[in-house]
Structure 1
Amino acid sequence: MTKDDLLVFFKEPTLEAFSDFLEKNVGEGSQVEFKGKWISDVKLAKIMIGMANSGGGCIVIGVSENDNGTIVASGISAEDKIYDPADFSKIVEKYLPQKIGKYIEIKNFFYENDVYGSLKGKKFQVIFISVEIGDLPIICESDGQRENEKIKRGEIYIRRGSKTDLINYDELQEVLTRSFEARRRVRQDITLEDELDQLKVLYDAIPVSIYKNSFSAFKQNHSPIARELWGHFENKVFPKQSFEEFLKEMIEDKEEKIRKALF
C-alpha cells in the first residue's frame, strides 16, 4: 500500500474503502498499526502519541499481523469490546494533551451483507490520528502502567517503522524544525486585510468613554440621551491614536518607502 492509498482511506473512510485498504495492505508501518483485539489504555496512548509525532496514522482493531507481514482480518470477537465512538476519548484522555483530542476519531466498520465477501458478519474499529504539524511535539500528560507497559509524563514518543519508541535528540530536532516552519507559514498566510480586521476588533473592544454611574463600559457613539442620563468621562486606557489615525500614519509611511525605492 502506498501513502496515496492510505490518504484515500483517510479522506473517505467508507466500508468499501476499508475493504480495499485491507486487500492492498502489506503490513504495519509508521502510519499503520494492527491489533487483533483492544489493548490497554497505556499502550494505546503511547502508539497514538508516537503516530501524532510522526505525522499521523491509524490503529486498526480486529486485524492481526503474522510474522511474515501478512494480515488476518478476523474482526473483533464477541468477547471483546466495541467502544462507542462518542465515549472513546475518555479511555486515553488523561495521557494526551487537549490539543490532540480534536485530531482523534474512531470509526466503526461493521459488515452485515454478502457484498464484501469474507468480511460479512465481521466488525472492526479504526482509530484515526491526524495532527497539525504546528502543534508538534505531542507530549505525554500523565504516568501510567499496565502489566509490562509503561508511559511517563513529559515523555515524547515517535514511530520507527512499526515500533513506538522514545524520541531521540536528532528526531526531536527534526520535529521541532517542522513545527516551527509550519507555524511560520501560517503567520505568513495572514493577509493585510486579516491583520487590519483583527486590529479593528481590538479597537472596538475598548470603550472610548465610561459612564460614571454604570457597571458597564459604553462607547461614545451611544445616544446623547444615554450620555446625559449616566454622565461619562474619558477612558484613559483607550489608545491616544484612533484606528483611522493609525491607518493614515501607515499609509504615509508606506508612501515614503515607495518614494525612496523609486527615487
Structure 2
Amino acid sequence: MRKEEFAKFLEDPTRESLREILKNNSGEQNDLDFKAEWPSDPKVAKHVLAFANYGGGCLIVGVKEENDMLTPKGLTELKDKTTIFNKITKFLPGSLLADQHINLYDFSYTESEYEKIKGKKFQVLTVNSSPEKLPFVSLNNGEGINEYRIYTRRGMQTVEASYEEIQKIINRRIETQYSSTAEIELETHLSQLKMLYEQVSPYKYFRSQTSWAANLSRALDNALGEQQKKENPNYPKENYEAFISRMIEKKKKKIEIELGVAGIEE
C-alpha cells in the first residue's frame, strides 16, 4: 500500500480500504501492526504510545502475521470501545487522550469479493499524533510497559526510544514552533505582579504621639514630627524575590510536564 493511501486510511478507515490492506499488504511496518488477538491492556497502551511518538499508526486486530504473510483469521467477538479505553487510560497522558487522537473501528464482512475475509470480524485501533504535544510518556507500570518511558516504533516493533530517537521526537515538537499563551505572556505577568507589589509598602508610617512641648522642641529639626515605622500586618509574608524563586521552580516543572518528560531520570 502506498504511503498516501495508508494516510487516507488512518484519517478515515472504511470497509473498502481495510479490505485492500488485508488483500495487498505485505506485512507489518512502523506505522502498521497486526495482531491475531487483542494484546493485554498494558501492551495495547504501549503500542498506542509508540504510534503517537512515531507520528501515527494503527493496530489491526484479527489478522495473524507469519513469515511475512497475512492470514485474516477474524475475531470471535468485538471488544467494547469504552471497555478498552477505560483499561488503557491509566497508562496514557491526558494530552493523548484528548481531541480523539485514539479511535477504535469495528468491521464485519458478511459479504466480500475477497473470499478470505468473508464472514469475519476485525477491529482497527488508530492513533493520530500531535507533534506540538510530543513526547507522550507512559504513566504507569504494567505487563511489558514501564512508568515514565518514551516508546516508539523501530524495525516494525514497539520499543523504548533511544536517546537519539528521543531527540528526534522533541525536535519534531520544536519544529512546530508551538508555544502556549501562558508561556508567551510570562514576562507580562511578572511585570504586572511587580507593579502590584510596589503598591504595597512593607511598613506603615505614622506620626509619633509626643507632648506639645516635645513637638515644639523638635520643630526646628522636623517640622512634621519624627517619623516612626511599624510592620504592616497586611504585607505578604512572602517577598517578591522569594515568590519569583518559587515560581521559577514551578515553571520548570510545568515545562517538564508540557514536554512530557516529568519524572524521567537523567
Structure 2 length normalisation: TM-score?
0.64
Q: Using the alignment, how far apart are the partners of 2:37 and 2:114 within structure 1?
A: 21
Answer whether contact 1:5 1:21 (CA < 8 A) is retained: no
Deviation at 1:10, TM superposition (A): 1.8
**Runs of at least 5 residues in structure 1 that lack an aligned partner in the other structure:** 188-263
Which letter maps to 2:139?
A: E
SS in 2 for 1:131: coil
Please list the CA deviations of residues 95-124 of structure 1 after superposition, one character each: whole Å capped at 9, or x if unmatched: 001111130000001111244433221000
Q: Using the alignment, how far apart are the partners of 1:62 and 1:117 within structure 2?
A: 15
SS in 1 for 2:83: coil
Answer whether contact 1:88 1:106 (CA < 8 A) is retained: no
> Which residue does the alignment assign to 1:234?
none
> Which residue does the alignment assign to 1:179?
173
Deviation at 1:53, TM superposition (A): 0.5
Q: Is 1:30–2:24 an aligned residue pair? A: no
1:190-229 equivalent positions in 2, closer than 5 A: none
> Which residue does the alignment assign to 1:16?
16
> Which residue does the alignment assign to 2:74?
75
Q: Using the alignment, how far apart are the partners of 1:50 and 1:56 within structure 2?
A: 8
Q: Using the alignment, how far apart are the partners of 1:97 and 1:114 within structure 2?
A: 39
SS in 2 for 1:140: coil
Answer whether contact 2:51 2:127 (CA < 8 A) is retained: yes
Q: Using the alignment, how far apart are the partners of 1:87 and 1:183 within structure 2?
A: 36
Q: Using the alignment, how far apart are the partners of 1:114 and 1:29 within structure 2?
A: 25
Q: Percent identity?
A: 32
> Which residue does the alignment assign to 2:128?
130
SS in 1 for 2:59: strand
Answer whether contact 2:74 2:120 (CA < 8 A) is retained: yes
> Which residue does the alignment assign to 2:151?
157
Please list the CA deviations of residues 182-233 of structure 1 after superposition, one character each: whole Å capped at 9, or x if unmatched: 144999xxxxxxxxxxxxxxxxxxxxxxxxxxxxxxxxxxxxxxxxxxxxxx
SS in 1 for 2:78: coil
Q: Using the alignment, how far apart are the partners of 1:114 and 1:21 within structure 2?
A: 14
Deviation at 1:90, TM superposition (A): 0.7
C-alpha distance 21-173 of structure 1, shift in aligned 2 (>3 A): same
Q: Using the alignment, how far apart are the partners of 1:88 and 1:110 within structure 2?
A: 19
* Structure of larger gyration radius: 2
Q: Using the alignment, how far apart are the partners of 2:2 and 2:47 within structure 1?
A: 21
Structure 1 length normalisation: TM-score?
0.64
SS in 1 for 2:45: helix
Which letter maps to 2:78?
A: I
**Runs of at least 5 residues in structure 2 that lack an aligned partner in the other structure:** 182-266
How many equivalent pairs are there? 180
Deviation at 1:15, TM superposition (A): 0.8
RMSD: 2.0
Deviation at 1:56, TM superposition (A): 0.7
Answer whether contact 1:9 1:21 (CA < 8 A) is retained: no
Answer whether contact 2:41 2:84 (CA < 8 A) is retained: no
> Which residue does the alignment assign to 2:234?
none
> Which residue does the alignment assign to 2:60?
60
> Which residue does the alignment assign to 2:85?
89
Deviation at 1:85, TM superposition (A): 2.2
